Amino acid sequence: DVGSPYDPDVVVIGGGQAGLATGYYLRRAGLSFVILDDQPAPGGAWQHTWPSLTLFSTAEFSNLPGIMMPGYDGFPPARHVIEYLAAYESRYDLPIERPVRVEQVTHSQGVFHVRTGRRTWRARAVVSATGTWSRPFVPWYPGHFRGGQWHSAHYPGTEPFAGSRVAVVGGANSGAQIAAELGAVADLTWYTTWPPRWMPDEVDGRVLFRRNRVRALALVRGEPDPGPADRLGDIVMVPPVREARDAGRLVATPMVTSLDRIEADHLIWCTGFRPALRHLRGLLAGRTPTVPGLFLVGYGDWTGPGSATLAGVAPGARAAAEQAGAFLGH
């Protein structure tokens, strides 16, 4: 008996940028919905980034659909994004419930049951937009490391590491950025599995955004795939990374085969994330929904080129909202 006034058409899980962009398009499609987010405040994962983190694009290339990110001189810090997302929610009066953690989603007789600590929501369509931040990934290595271990997801900035021996593991953006700032205050070894692939200095988020757009259009039109934007390299040369590299402070060491060989006081894993999809166990084959009415938004290139970025999330959010509308017969 889904269809009581208390049941929305769609439940969106996750209230970061992907959930908000989905809400924008659901509203436009005339669907009723609720967004459930387990954080106490707006901003999604941007609330948890390290203090010095800035966007790799300027504000005018970091827009969600609808209102634009307010201008900023240079690359905006996370605080600017959080303020933008908070303003976005209130501008579109998005119905967000916080803090509400979705424990599990089940599906029977065409109805999703979205179980939270407080109540179970019922809906005929669900959009999952839970991002990756809550699932930091650490690769397995033999041996033991005896010092303190961290992941970039919880890296607090340079202060606890000043004057100590620090191993940073990971050759992508977070590894390069964290190594760049620690190299100035600590005895740093930066471990990477292959030599760092720097992007050309002039490539920032704007270039990546354009390449992702070209790729998305090509895929929609059935044209040959021009390849992912990261073909240009792994590391965007934001100013602190460029300065550290040019000063010779950002020199990579080949990753060891055993943790026993890392001699340091701290080890910081900058080894990425996995999609936060545990609440959907039983409803996916790999990463593909096995039940109609379930949509995934914003997780990475596999949910659309550049979909895990501010500027790139819109096409996937719009497609999910439109497909949900079509599925529900709107």
Residues lying near ligand FAD in the complex (CB under 6 A) are found at: 13-19, 36-39, 44-46, 49, 53, 55-57, 62, 101-102, 129-131, 133-134, 174, 205, 276, 279, 298, 308-311
At closest approach, how far in Å is the CB of 310 from ligand FAD?
A: 4
At closest approach, how far in Å is the CB of 14 from ligand FAD?
A: 3
> How far apart, in Å, do the first and last CA atoms of the chain sit?
18
- Residue 173 CA to residue 125 CA, distance in Å, equals 35
- Residue 29 CA to residue 48 CA, distance in Å, equals 32
At closest approach, how far in Å is the CB of 257 from ligand FAD?
A: 27
At closest approach, how far in Å is the CB of 258 from ligand FAD?
A: 28
* Comparison of 102 and 255: residue with beta carbon closer to ligand FAD: 102
Mutual angle of helices 78-91 and 17-28, in 10-degree steps: 20
* Comparison of 276 and 314: residue with beta carbon closer to ligand FAD: 276
Query: 49: which 2 tokens?
Result: 């980034």
* Comparison of 31 and 178: residue with beta carbon closer to ligand FAD: 178
Look up tokens 């899980």; give the residue.
13
* Comparison of 17 and 271: residue with beta carbon closer to ligand FAD: 17
Look up tokens 């969600």; give the residue.
64
- Residue 244 CA to residue 259 CA, distance in Å, equals 26
Burial zone of 103 (CB within 10 Å; 0-12 exposed, 13-18 middle, 19+ buried): exposed
* Comparison of 15 and 65: residue with beta carbon closer to ligand FAD: 15
Burial zone of 2 (CB within 10 Å; 0-12 exposed, 13-18 middle, 19+ buried): middle
Query: 288: which 2 tokens?
Result: 């593909």
At closest approach, how far in Å is the CB of 118 from ligand FAD?
A: 12
* Comparison of 41 and 326: residue with beta carbon closer to ligand FAD: 41
Q: What is the DSSP letter of 54?
A: B
At closest approach, how far in Å is the CB of 291 from ligand FAD?
A: 18
* Neighbour count for residue 187 (Cβ, 10 Å): 14
At closest approach, how far in Å is the CB of 13 from ligand FAD?
A: 5
* Comparison of 13 and 283: residue with beta carbon closer to ligand FAD: 13
Side-chain-side CA neighbours of 264 within 13 Å: the count stands at 24
Contact 199, 232 (CB under 8 A): yes
Torsion of CA 54, 59, 63, 69, to 10 degrees: 100
